[in-house]
Structure 1
Amino acid sequence: MKAVGYCRISKEDESSVSLDYQKAEIKKLCKREGLRLISLEVDNGISGKSIKNRPAVQRVLNLVDTRQVDAVIVYRSDRLSRDGLESLQTETLFIEKGIRYISATEGCLNSEDLDAELMRYLRAGLNSRERRIISLRTRAALQRKRERGERIGGRPKYGWKVSNGKLVKDAQEQRVILQIKILREREFSVRAIRDVLCDMGTLTRIGTPFSQSQIVRILQG
């Protein structure tokens, strides 16, 4: 029997086992069960909320849909999805296609007996609950960072910079923002403001003239 393995680790899930460990356990299971592992798909640093935007899951589902494999192997069921409804829909698809769905830690996940069906619903609910807990923890951690003035990630918006790990006002950019707002209060159009900045030689942080859309964002911010 041919099998495809699937591994995932997300940035926010600190409790996730490493990808290398997941791969090793999947390979052990395939050897033990006499399965030929034809592909091992990996989503690295991607949330388990939905399978729609995960390239590796989509490749797995394509192999299932085209009947190129007989089994899907994961380290743990929440690696495939933490969305309860999506988990049930995917497991139902595997059953309809005659695909064995096996976890290295939980055993066969899609047996058709009544007890197994009950376990599918319980497992989907628990995985969904865990996703919600992770989401709440992440939001709380971000809020604490905001309260401490720490950088959360991404590029600071215009007028701000990172200093010693904290967001602080950039004096030069703040002067430009003030100038833009004063011109707007004097009923200058966005295009006219752009022209004034250009005539004064005022440039963006990457050394290019301001566009009208950039000026609009500054006024809205």
Structure 2
Amino acid sequence: MTSKPAKVAIYARVSTDDQAEQGYSIDAQLDTLRKYCELYGKAVYKEYVDRGISGKSIVGRYELQQPLKDVEERKFDEVIVWKFNRMARKNIDLLHIVERLEKYNITFRSFSENFDTSTSMGKFALQMMGAVGELERNTIVDNVKMGMKQRAKKGEHNGKLPLGYRVVPDPSNLSKRSKAVAIVPDETIIVRKIFELYAAGRGLKSIANELNHSGYKTKTGNTFSTTAIKEILNNPFYNGKVRYNRYENWSNKRRRGKSAEPIIADGKHEAIIHDALWEKVQSLLQKKSFTPSRIFNGEFLLSGLIRCPKCGSAMVASRTRSKTKTGEIVHHLYYSCGAFRSKGSSVCSANSIRKQDAEDEVMNRLAQVLFKDRILKAIVDKINHRLTTRTVPLQAELEHIRSQLEQAESRKRKYLDLFEHGNVDKSFFTGRMQEIQADLIKFRAEKSRLELELTEDNTSPVVFEQVRELIHGFHQVLTAAPFEQRKTMLHLFIKRITLDTSKKIEAIELSFDETVDSYFSDSPVAVAAGDSLQRKQARKREKIEIAI
């Protein structure tokens, strides 16, 4: 009896047009891997393709996530790529992917490096090649950083320019690639206004509020916030300096990676802010840089969870004060719109809700659902109805995206035919092809996301007893834990709290998944309480979302 041919999943990826030009194009990868499968009598199960996406991380690579989901059902026997770095640039990501494949007895094979993970030597080769690949990438990154540091030391800018500046062709250099930095007159008015207002004693929120009321926008077209104002005031580029290496390893550490030795050099660009004004502003910023002591007490459990009923921004802690008839100062604690607090009244209004009222309502509603089974049962029935009907709009959206993708591919073929017959100008053709290629990348990514979402959609009914147990454990730990732990729990399990137009709590959206089980079982409060959820840790549970 003839054995069935091995089913192969092909994965291909390019991150830039340059890679395509250097022979790494999607079509070239797929053609090579198809011929390989044909030569060795293997059946292609499916081709998974990520276009225009970096291999730095697996986040956002929906076509890669799809086969990692399909392995659970053993839809294929082998995954093959043209080169191992098409799968992942980071060695740790590559090893995690291969480990997941091996868990389901699925082989990973690289065509160019000629190894597969079904053998010990293949696994060893994978680890070595992965390490070499990551070293190569890190070396490229280091070389790029070194070049950028040299540019900064020579007074040349790196990256995006701040408000007030734009890139123009360098008049002193005829090379098309040579660029210079020029002032944008309309934007310099905003920058000078910010510095002058701050030097005159105005606060960050006051400045943001005035700019927003005047209709001014940031470089990206957004309204001004206190953070945006402070960033401008701190930027030495406006004083004719170039600053580089302010933060190290930004993608991982963000602002925690502040560099001890940033590069600051005299720039080749024109300053917008003269020395006297710059120094005055820096002196004021320095005086206000200390952290003030708390002038009121209050443990705000729901900061960031409650959403403004007007603009949808997260609501933050705020206070007002009043004087009693006896002259005593009384502080009143609220949750108020974060956009109003940082950007002023032109963006939104306070929409405040009393702190105690909001927190009491949340706790009371949790208790009400916990102790009244008929309410929880009605919620579960609603969830199950939504689960059974959820796929319909997703499928409709997917069909729409597929239609747009077909139209974009048709336009691409049309312009290729016109160009081949000499019926279209080359520069026009290049511009149109770039636009179409951008559309194709966008539509393919959206198509992959929707297909993955439909695959992951769990339409099996939610079990009432399971939900009741989750909420019981949640409420039990929440009422017994100290403040910091309770706040952490609320932020883990509550997606958002919405208010109605009368500023009353409308819905509390809860989300439970395997992380919830882990948190309950690891919590000392839960262990002390003998929480029964600890016994459920080994059981896989899909995400459950409810609104109460």
Which TM-score applies when normalising by structure 2? 0.35
1:56 aligns with 2:63: yes
CA distance in 2, matches of 1:106, 1:3: 18
Is the 8 Å Cα contact of residues 202 and 209 (structure 1) preserved in structure 2? no
CA distance in 2, matches of 1:28, 1:172: 59
Q: Who is 1:183 aligned against? A: 197
Is the 8 Å Cα contact of residues 6 and 42 (structure 1) preserved in structure 2? yes
Deviations 1:84-103 (A, max 9, x none): 22222322332231112222
CA distance in 1, matches of 2:206, 2:9: 60
Name the CA shift for 1:126/1:180 in 2 (closer, same or farther; >3 Å).
Answer: same
- In angstroms, what is the RMSD of aligned CA positions? 3.1
1:8 aligns with 2:30: no
1:67 aligns with 2:81: no
Structure 2: which amino acid aligns with 1:139?
K
Is the 8 Å Cα contact of residues 49 and 63 (structure 2) preserved in structure 1? yes
Secondary structure in structure 2 of the residue aligned to 1:175: helix
Is the 8 Å Cα contact of residues 198 and 207 (structure 2) preserved in structure 1? yes
Secondary structure in structure 2 of the residue aligned to 1:81: coil
CA distance in 1, matches of 2:86, 2:104: 21
1:88 aligns with 2:95: yes
CA distance in 2, matches of 1:44, 1:132: 22
Is the 8 Å Cα contact of residues 9 and 16 (structure 1) preserved in structure 2? no
Name the CA shift for 1:63/1:125 in 2 (closer, same or farther; >3 Å).
Answer: same
Which runs of at least 4 in structure 1 moved beyond 6 Å after TM superposition? Answer: none
Name the CA shift for 1:118/1:38 in 2 (closer, same or farther; >3 Å).
Answer: closer
Higher relative contact order (CA 8 A, sep 6+): 1
Name the CA shift for 1:145/1:11 in 2 (closer, same or farther; >3 Å).
Answer: farther
Deviations 1:98-136 (A, max 9, x none): 1122222233420233x3333222122112212212322
Residue ranges of structure 1 left out of the alignment (5+ in a row): none
CA distance in 1, matches of 2:150, 2:182: 17
Structure 2: which amino acid aligns with 1:189?
G
Secondary structure in structure 2 of the residue aligned to 1:69: coil
Q: Who is 1:203 aligned against? A: 216
Residue ranges of structure 2 left out of the alignment (5+ in a row): 1-5, 170-178, 236-548
**Higher mean C-alpha displacement, 142-151 vs 49-58:** 142-151
CA distance in 2, matches of 1:63, 1:143: 45
Name the CA shift for 1:86/1:198 in 2 (closer, same or farther; >3 Å).
Answer: closer
Cα deviation, residue 209, structure 1? 9.4
CA distance in 2, matches of 1:49, 1:209: 29
Aligned counterpart in structure 1 of residue 166 of structure 2, from 144, 148, 161:
161
Is the 8 Å Cα contact of residues 4 and 37 (structure 1) preserved in structure 2? yes
Name the CA shift for 1:144/1:19 in 2 (closer, same or farther; >3 Å).
Answer: farther
CA distance in 1, matches of 2:222, 2:66: 44
Is the 8 Å Cα contact of residues 10 and 16 (structure 1) preserved in structure 2? no
Q: Who is 2:129 aligned against? A: 123
Q: Who is 2:142 aligned against? A: 136
Which TM-score applies when normalising by structure 1? 0.80
